[in-house]
Structure 1
């Protein structure tokens, strides 16, 4: 039996290839996970990027972070960190102050209101993540995490 062009497996990365199928599966999963997370956050009048900013500032503690540092730590790059901070400040969830040593530097801090919103979301988000990954045993979840960690963006544009 001879192999025809149509019988040959698709070239790496081409439609139908294992890489392409893995990409599609990851995209579908990411979109579904993101949608359910966004629905939960919307009930607290937060977008995913705003929530990410609040979590970053909670992790920074009382010292806060420079606006540029907040931007560098975002899960998804947002070129307009100032706009995110403006909205969070208007909602009373973030405050900004000028660094007394260098007035050009603005430091963002989590307010008590911001801390309260995050505290109110801690339980529901924990439950959501448990439901999102309930189909995987702890061992398979660890394997998934390991496999995803092997994929680095440093090697790719």
Structure 2
């Protein structure tokens, strides 16, 4: 008499959470690759572009190296070197704060602002194409789910047992 049991085919994921994680990683990688290809036409990396957008959003005040690093999407351990490269390219300018000479503030240069502006429409079009298959209500639902998933867990949700 055989003792073999029916065996289910192996599941590719150990849990729905694992499947969600892998699916999000694959999507993020694809979206990033497409964005990198576009930015490469202007000689920029995604991180450099992120710095320029952060500086454009900061207005005329400028930001310290630490403030820029804290706002980066992809953390860079050497923001100073990143800013050095952008300064050599003429895309950012650094100057000591008028209020505290110990503080160095980075500003978007006119050349940096112009380069960033040249990407506004092509990047918006890329994002439209990337999500064109989702009707507006589905895209809104996706955004809601992503914001909900990105929220830190409460003490009750995060506590074991």
Cα displacement string for residues 117-143 of structure 1 (whole angstroms, at most 9, x for unaligned residues): 111000000000000001100000000
| Pairing partner for 1:140 from 132, 138, 141 | 138
Distance 2:84 2:149 in 1: 34
RMSD across aligned positions (CA): 2.2
Q: Which residue of 2 aligns with 1:124?
A: 122
Cα displacement string for residues 9-44 of structure 1 (whole angstroms, at most 9, x for unaligned residues): 98xxx9331111111111110000000000000110
Distance 1:149 1:115 in 2: 30
Distance 2:95 2:74 in 1: 25
Instruction: Please say which structure displays the higher CA radius of gyration.
Output: 2
| Pairing partner for 1:21 from 7, 10, 19 | 19
**Is 2:48 the counterpart of 1:53?**
no
Secondary structure, in 3 states, of the residue corresponding to 1:103? coil
Alignment gaps of 5+ in structure 2 = none
Distance 1:61 1:38 in 2: 25
Q: Which residue of 2 aligns with 1:73?
A: 71
Query: TM (normalized to structure 2)?
Result: 0.85
Distance 1:89 1:46 in 2: 13
Q: Which residue of 1 aligns with 2:28?
A: 30
Q: Which residue of 2 aligns with 1:151?
A: 149
Decide whether aligned partners of structure 1 residues 5 and 144 sit closer, same or farther in structure 2, where only a CA change above 3 A counts: farther
The CA deviation at 1:153 is 6.1
Distance 2:145 2:115 in 1: 33
Q: What is the aligned residue count? A: 150
TM superposition outliers: structure 1 runs of 4+ over 6 Å:
none
Alignment gaps of 5+ in structure 1 = none
Map 1:96-115 → 2, pairs under 5 A: 96-115=94-113
The CA deviation at 1:6 is 5.7
Distance 1:86 1:146 in 2: 38
Secondary structure, in 3 states, of the residue corresponding to 2:42? coil
Between Structure 1 and Structure 2, the one with more strand by share is 1
